[in-house]
Amino acid sequence: DTGVSQDPRHKITKRGQNVTFRCDPISEHNRLYWYRQTLGQGPEFLTYFQNEAQLEKSRLLSDRFSAERPKGSFSTLEIQRTEQGDSAMYLCASSLPLGADTQYFGPGTRLTVL
Amino acid sequence: DAKTTQPTSMDCAEGRAANLPCNHSTISGNEYVYWYRQIHSQGPQYIIHGLKNNETNEMASLIITEDRKSSTLILPHATLRDTAVYYCIVRFPSNDYKLSFGAGTTVTVRA
């Protein structure tokens, strides 16, 4: 399967702990996006990379959130000092910036903060 | 901010065509129309996109009106596995990197 992969698929943590998620984009896709989706809502944009450069960040991305894409391939999203309000599905997508620049999504990481 | 309007929900009989409308009256000339769907607890799945012409692929057909102010996604033979939330999104990819998801249409296919 050559789609976008995310790890882990599920994460349960206690409030105050740090968590890190990984996303592997489709090979040769140089754009990578992170979204967050809470229950009953559509996905909301968090941040975007072109190669290793983080080019845009949403105001939803508080100081406790950091994303990296060190070699322009996989990306990590870290949340420090998790809060119950961080409970959500974290989605990763990738695209190749040609034509319509269609984004393809991974299966997501479901985070539950107790 | 979502630039589209979709019905909140619709039902469809299995084996029949499902026609999902979307209004995007403020669409600009360079904006594409994208359709995604999201089956419960999964990531969004890309379905189809179009700019001006009608489009068809193995999943669906996209009909865009001549004035581009609305479009219809057609699932030709709905199955129970097509039950999902369907999102219509407009975006100018050269200017706007993100996809702005609205509430979408919850489609329930009934046997």
Q: What confidence tens digit (pLDDT) does each residue in A26-57 have?
A: 998 999 999 999 998 999 999 999 999 999 99
Low-confidence ranges of chain B (pLDDT < 70): 1-2
Q: What pLDDT, on the 0 to 100 scale, is given for residue B41?
A: 87
Alpha-carbon distances, residue B44 vs B57, B95, B100 (angstroms): 18, 22, 13
Asked if the model's pLDDT at residue A112 lies above 90, the reply is yes
State the smallest CA–CA distance between residue B93 and chain A in angstroms.
6
Q: Do A100 and B32 touch (CB under 8 A)?
A: yes
Question: Which residues of chain A neighbour B103 with C-beta distances below 8 Å?
Answer: 41-42
Give the count of beta carbons closer than 10 Å to the beta carbon of residue A76. Answer: 14
Residue A97: pLDDT band (50, 70, 90) is confident
Q: Across residues A11-31, what is the average pLDDT?
A: 96
Say if B9 is an interface residue toward chain A (CB within 8 Å).
no
Nearest chain B residue (CA) to A56:
B97
State the smallest CA–CA distance between residue B30 and chain A in angstroms.
10
Question: Which residues of chain A neighbour B102 with C-beta distances below 8 Å?
Answer: 42
- A contact set with B (CB within 8 A): 4, 6, 31, 33, 35, 41-45, 48, 55-56, 58, 89, 91, 93, 97, 99-108, 110
In a 3-state reduction of DSSP, which class is residue A104? strand
Q: What pLDDT, on the 0 to 100 scale, is given for residue B68?
A: 95
Residue A100: pLDDT band (50, 70, 90) is confident
Residue B97: which of A48, A106, A107 has the nearest Cβ?
A48
Question: Which residues of chain A neighbour B55 with C-beta distances below 8 Å?
Answer: none
Give the count of beta carbons closer than 10 Å to the beta carbon of residue B82. Answer: 19
Q: What pLDDT, on the 0 to 100 scale, is given for residue B2?
A: 57
Q: What pLDDT, on the 0 to 100 scale, is given for residue B75?
A: 97
- Cα(B42)–Cα(A4) distance, rounded to whole angstroms? 13
Q: What pLDDT, on the 0 to 100 scale, is given for residue B109?
A: 97
Question: Which residues of chain B neighbour A107 with C-beta distances below 8 Å?
Answer: 42-43
Give the count of beta carbons closer than 10 Å to the beta carbon of residue B49. Answer: 20
